[in-house]
Amino acid sequence: MPTVTNYRLPTKQRQVRQRGKAVANVRNNVEAVKHRRVLGMKKWIGVLVLVPLALITFVTMLKFFGRISSRHGLWRSEEVIFFGAGTLAWTAAYLAGWRPIVSYVFGHELSHLIVAKLCGGKILDFHVSAKGGYVETDKSNTAISLAPYLIPLYSIVAMIIFGLLGIFVQLDTAHALHLGRLTLNAKPVWLLYLLMGFTWAFHLTFTITTIRAEQGDLKRNGEFFSTLLIFIINVVLVLGLVLIASPNPDFSVAEVFRCWFGVASSIVGWLFSFLT
C-alpha cells in the first residue's frame, strides 16, 4: 500500500521546521516542547476520558444489537440483508486482491480538504496518485488530521445521491427490471443498501490498514488518543446505521442514550463494588 502523506504543513512552516531541525538542541525548541505537552495532555485525556467512553459505547452497541435482533428480527430486514451482501461483495473483492488505491487516496485526501475548508482553512495544494497524496493547508487540528478515519466519505456520497434521486423516484417501491427474458421486481433502495455495505466495508478495511501502517496523522495527534477516538466515532456511526435500518420506530437516538447511561451506571457500579 502506498504511503499517504495526507495532511502537511504549508511550505513556509515546513521550511521553518526544517531550519529548527538543524539546531543542535532541538528539544529546547519552543514549538517542540509545546507539541510534547499537547501530546501528553491528549494521552491523559485518552486514559481518563476516551477509554471509558470507548468501553461504554462498545458495550452499548452490542446490547442494542441484541435487543433489536431478538425482539424485531433486524437481521431478516431488507436493509441488513442487502447491506450485508454489499459487505460480502467488498470482502470477496479484497480477498481476491483488488486494491483500488487511487480511489482510497482520493477519498482520504478529499476528507482532509473538506474538513479543512469547514474549519476555515485555505487549501494551498492538493495531490493524489497511486503512490500517495497530500493536502497542503494553512490550518491544522485534530479534526482535519483524523477526518479520513472518522468519515466514510463514499458512503456519504451514496446517501446524498440517493437522497437526491428520492425527490424524483420512489426508492422503496418495487419496479420491474427486465433482464432479457427474465423480469425481476426490485426496489431502487436495495442498491443504496448494497452500496452502503460495500463502501462501509471499504472504509473500514482501509482505515484499519492505514492505522497499522502508522500514518503521520495518528502520530501527530498521539497514536493512543487517535486510535481511541477513531474507534469511538466509528462505533457511533455503526449505531447510527442500525437506527436507520431498524424497522421499529421506537428505537431512537433517545433510546440509545438511555441504553448508554444504563451501561455506564452498571460499569461504574461494578467498579465501585470491586474497589470497595
5, 133 Cβ separation under 8 angstroms = yes
pLDDT computed for residue 34 by the predictor:
79
194, 85 Cβ separation under 8 angstroms = yes
pLDDT computed for residue 31 by the predictor:
72
Task: Tell me phi and psi for residue 178, to 5 degrees.
Answer: -95, 120
Query: What b/e string do you get for 174-213 counting C-beta neighbours within 10 Å, with b at 16 or more?
Result: eeeeeeeeeeeeebbbbbbbbbbbbbbbbbbebbeebbee
Count the alpha carbons within 13 Å of 82 in the hemisphere toward its beta carbon. Answer: 15
pTM of the entire predicted model? 0.79
In order, the DSSP letters of 157-200 are HHHHHHHHHTTTS-TTS-EEEEETTEEEEE-HHHHHHHHHHHHH
| SS3 category, 215 | coil
Nearest to 159, CA basis, from 184, 189, 185: 189
Element (H, E) at 219: helix 216-221
Q: What is the largest CA-CA distance in the chain?
A: 78
Measure the CA–CA gap between 276 and 270, rounded to whole angstroms: 10
pLDDT computed for residue 24 by the predictor:
44
Measure the CA–CA gap between 172 and 175, rounded to whole angstroms: 9
pLDDT computed for residue 220 by the predictor:
82
Measure the CA–CA gap between 17 and 9, rounded to whole angstroms: 10
Per-residue pLDDT of the chain (276 residues; tens, 9 = 90+): 555 555 555 555 555 555 555 544 545 567 777 778 888 898 999 999 999 999 999 999 888 877 777 766 667 778 888 999 999 999 999 999 999 999 999 999 999 999 999 999 999 999 998 888 889 998 888 899 899 999 999 999 999 999 899 898 888 888 777 777 787 788 888 899 999 999 999 999 999 888 887 667 788 888 889 999 999 999 998 888 777 766 566 667 888 888 899 999 988 888 888 777
110, 156 Cβ separation under 8 angstroms = no
pLDDT computed for residue 180 by the predictor:
75
Q: Where are the domains of the chain?
A: 6-22+52-275
